[in-house]
Structure 1
Amino acid sequence: MTLIATDARHYRLLPLRFMRMDTGSSHDILITSDTGEHLHVNDEQLRALSQFDVQTGSAFYKDLLARHFIYEPERHDPFAQMAAQYRSRKDFLFQGPALHLFVVTLRCNHTCQYCQVSRAPLSGSGHDLSEENARAAVDRLFESNAPALTVEFQGGEPLLAFERVRQIVEWVVERNRVQQRDIQFVITTTLHHLTDDVLDFAAQHDIQFSTSLDGPAALHNANRPTPSRDAYERTVEGIERVRERLGHDAVSALTTLTSRSLEQPEAIIDEYVKLGFSSISLRPLSPYGFATKSAQRLDYPIERYLDFHDRALTYLLNINQQGVYLSESYTSLLLKNILTPFSSGYVDLRSPAGAGTAALVYNYDGYVYPSDEARMLLEMGESGLRLGSVQQPLPELLGSPVMQALLASGVAEALPGCSDCALVPYCGADPIEHFARQGDPIGHRMFSTFCKKNMGLLKQVFRLLRDGDDNVQKVLLSWLSRRSYSDVRLPGYRG
């Protein structure tokens, strides 16, 4: 709910939202401001605040002033500072798309049960990005005004079209001699088709690799089968080859959680520890594309995922306190949204929505999509979220009717069910997921899996920030600052 005062005594209210944290306690109400400040209060304090009965000079009163829930007319003007905070939180709006995904091929040797795109056979034709469309996509890339650009190659398996990857990288590097942007290259790959030539080229151009690792061998091989039945072994071999040639941090990994994965959070985390990763991303299944055909066997209620995540987070906190640094990526993004005046930059947590404004996908067929998820809707027979052709200039693509519709439904602060939610400063709108699940880019938040997931995860984080002991606080701050547990010093602030 939202409170906005029209009258006041010695102080006035600034816009705030509040919600109970579902523990049944009258001492468990979260209040938040538009600038992302937060405070835990009880019923009595909230009643006093709304009735202008908070005692001047009390610790509670000082907290409310400092965190911009109240102000004192003619004595205290917080609006310039609040405007600066709000501008920082929405700073991404001043930049064009920074993430550019090139789908260079649909060919792949995997038959992953949760795959979101239909695979093309290894020798299939007509499923690779043409040279003409690749050149046009590079033109679109540099039409963005973002000072830092990420060029990510996807598939299928992009290493099966490595010559196209090589061409695109060389074109971008050549153009950037004049443009002088900060550019990062990433190849999302199984690592099964690595060669010395690929690694040499990656070393020359500082290319990073991202792969999938779903856990121990039995789980990974079940989720990501190959004809040779050795997906796990070949992935681990690829990780070792990249690290040996390019350095330990040149490869990252993501896990996708199927129903069988939810039974073994500790085993999945132990696998990442064993292989020396510094972060793990515990991603639930997505409702897109080819994966919908396997949903009956692999999917699960979001409540089951949240239980898994709570158990996994507890285990991660424990092993970090024992000296093993392993952060959970999404939790780290939420911590940045909660504890700093800056946005995490993560596309799905942006409002206005990041699809199109933050990311663009150049598909193998020459069409442009506002996100990878929009591209995957093709597998469900839906092409309505296509922005246009890669041959069209960027302003035309971003001015398309699809972008107009996404932006109209992509401002969380204006959406029913979100506008009064206390968690909206830290969340996003994600109209594409709502379109995929509910057939409507706005959707009904009561039935929104996106909403249930983010509300559940944010509540987990807020409870840890409030109730966690000093050791838990140090781990969370180490994830936020990307420093080891032993290097973290706690501030005197506790939300």
Structure 2
Amino acid sequence: MTKFAPLAEFRKPVEATYQLAFFRFSPLEGDRYVLTNQAGEYLVLPRSVLSSFIRHELSSSDSYYSRLRHRHFLFDASSNLGKALLANKVRTKAKRLENFTSLHIMVVSLRCEHSCPYCQVSRQSEDRSAFDMTEETAEKALALVFRSPSPSIKIEFQGGEPLLNFELIRYVVGRAEQINSSEQRDLQFVITTNLAVVDNTILEFCRLHDILISTSLDGPADLHNANRPRPSRNSYELAVAGIQKARKVLGHERVSALMTTTKTSLSKGRQIIDEYVQLQFPGIFLRPLSPYGFAIKTKSYAAYDVDRWLDFYFDGLEYIIDLNRRGLPFKELYASTILTKMLTPFEPGYVDLMSPAGIGISAVVYNYDGDVYASDEARMLAEMGDKTFRIGNVHDNSYHEIFASDALLDPIEQSFAGSAPMCSECAFEPYCGSDPVFHMATQRDFVGLKTRSAFCHRNMTIFKRLISLMEDSPMIRELFLQWAN
């Protein structure tokens, strides 16, 4: 008996000596599988081709061979650039990390004149000024904002209704611009408001300081007024009037809107989209409820499960695709964010879909009382009595103490999707995040059991559907490429 195989066994043609790159795969419908590599590029293969590929039996003349090589799923002797190109794409995806925190949310007041049953903030009534941020607290927060190494700084004013403490917004904008005269950052401001109390003085200030407006619009009048009640029962009328007024002063593109899906919304998806089309918004984010604040206390979050929301979402997506077929450009913005991750080498920076988790390192919240939270959702969780993600206080802690705290680093380390159980093996890991705040709120754990995670079920279902749609329709793939870019 010979100890080694004959020499001829080691003299195989070049085409049989390709090297597999690291990749993951997952089944789609039928016999199709999707493969993803470290840079987030994907390819859909029949099961038989995948089997041949893994066994190193795929011929270089096979049409799938060149696709696998060009997208860096295999390396062979035809070029020595594949590994370098893949590494460059991975570096590009991770580039945002070196900039650290760019979004700084300042909660200038918890007061609000709305009483939305799904509110995730636990707002306070209008007359409780104890829930307003002070100039002293704002000054301390600004000192931390400009310690961030990010070349771009976005300060977003939230509430409650932040315009109820407009004088503080005026103060913060002035001080931030003064500081930035020497810092020379790309500085931007956003006010998240229901527009019910906006006036010409506020809008003129926004125009002079190039401030963006983000508002809420849940759909047509009956739905919006039911979802977002106020004493005069005219929430919708004030929102639409405010949108039109703000556009006139600031410019059409400077005003955006966000909806929240309640149980009542589920049967009105196309009407909601029609409302956004009628008001000439370029797209809509079909957003589910989150498990925080009054959304839990009033049981709004439990009013529907993730599968009912997915039915709502996919019906809305189908309708939006049909609008585009008929010549009306319109985006679904959550799909657009995911598609940017799927189809481009860039990371859009959406906190919930980042790995490592975007909490703290992409966005941070300075609460009205000076407490610092790792994300907006972390602040909402704290309003429910759980301060797991409180990472410090502007009056008591330094920049280093806050951003190097165990309260921030532990959940980021534990929930890193690249090493988290099940996430590390998932084909959709390059597109997903781990959202430790969501899993703490729903499962009392940073990582959570993925088989019971509504976050995982929702996103994995969307990822698969988007890929299948692109595979089955060249028109949809072309549309999605436009959304991604």
TM-score with structure 2 setting the length: 0.95
Identify the match of residue 163 of structure 1 among 140, 162, 167. 167
Equivalent-residue separation in structure 2 for 1:336 and 1:106 (angstroms): 34
Residue 415 of structure 2 corresponds to 410
Question: Which SS does the other structure have where 2:24 is aligned?
Answer: strand
Identify the match of residue 448 of structure 1 among 439, 446, 453. 453
Residue identity in the other structure for 2:27: R
Q: Let me know the Cα RMSD of the aligned residues.
A: 1.4
User: Which structure 1 residue ranges, 5 or more long, are not aligned?
Assistant: 1-7, 482-495
Residue identity in the other structure for 2:23: L
Identify the match of residue 258 of structure 2 among 254, 258, 261. 254
Q: CA deviation at 1:478?
A: 2.6
Residues 58-88 of structure 1, C-alpha deviations (whole Å, 9 max, x = no match): 2211111111111125853422211111010
Question: Which SS does the other structure have where 1:354 is aligned?
Answer: coil
Residue 12 of structure 2 corresponds to none
User: Which structure 2 residue ranges, 5 or more long, are not aligned?
Assistant: 1-14
Residue 8 of structure 2 corresponds to none
Equivalent-residue separation in structure 2 for 1:75 and 1:217 (angstroms): 60
Q: Does 1:429 align with 2:434?
A: yes
Question: Which SS does the other structure have where 1:126 is aligned?
Answer: helix
Equivalent-residue separation in structure 1 for 2:106 and 2:79 (angstroms): 55
Question: Which SS does the other structure have where 1:419 is aligned?
Answer: helix
Residues 204-245 of structure 1, C-alpha deviations (whole Å, 9 max, x = no match): 000010000000000001100001001000100000110111
Equivalent-residue separation in structure 1 for 2:301 and 2:179 (angstroms): 47
Does the aligned pair in 2 maintain the 1:242–1:251 contact within 8 Å? yes
Residue identity in the other structure for 1:305: W
Identify the match of residue 439 of structure 1 among 435, 440, 444. 444
Equivalent-residue separation in structure 1 for 2:86 and 2:275 (angstroms): 44
Change (3 A) 1:297 1:68: closer
Equivalent-residue separation in structure 1 for 2:382 and 2:59 (angstroms): 59
Question: Which SS does the other structure have where 1:109 is aligned?
Answer: coil
Structure 1 runs of 4+ aligned residues shifted over 3 Å read 73-77
More deviation, 395-404/146-155: 395-404
Equivalent-residue separation in structure 1 for 2:383 and 2:179 (angstroms): 34
Question: Which SS does the other structure have where 1:414 is aligned?
Answer: coil
Does the aligned pair in 2 maintain the 1:11–1:52 contact within 8 Å? yes
Residue 118 of structure 2 corresponds to 114
Equivalent-residue separation in structure 2 for 1:297 and 1:116 (angstroms): 10
Does the aligned pair in 1 maintain the 2:296–2:302 contact within 8 Å? no
Equivalent-residue separation in structure 2 for 1:298 and 1:240 (angstroms): 34
Question: Which SS does the other structure have where 2:259 is aligned?
Answer: strand
Residue 324 of structure 1 corresponds to 328
Q: CA deviation at 1:403?
A: 1.0
Residue 182 of structure 1 corresponds to 186
Identify the match of residue 375 of structure 2 among 366, 371, 378. 371
Identify the match of residue 399 of structure 1 among 401, 404, 414. 404
Does the aligned pair in 2 maintain the 1:158–1:187 contact within 8 Å? yes
Residues 436-471 of structure 1, C-alpha deviations (whole Å, 9 max, x = no match): 11000010000111111111111121111111242x
Residues 359-388 of structure 1, C-alpha deviations (whole Å, 9 max, x = no match): 110000110001010001123211121001
Residue 459 of structure 1 corresponds to 464
Residue 243 of structure 2 corresponds to 239
Residues 247-287 of structure 1, C-alpha deviations (whole Å, 9 max, x = no match): 11111000000011011111000000111101211100001
Does the aligned pair in 2 maintain the 1:360–1:370 contact within 8 Å? yes
Residue 488 of structure 1 corresponds to none
Q: CA deviation at 1:480?
A: 2.2
Does the aligned pair in 2 maintain the 1:285–1:299 contact within 8 Å? no
Equivalent-residue separation in structure 2 for 1:430 and 1:466 (angstroms): 29
Residue identity in the other structure for 1:476: F
| Equivalences, count | 470
Residues 142-198 of structure 1, C-alpha deviations (whole Å, 9 max, x = no match): 000101111100000000000000000000011111111111110000001111110
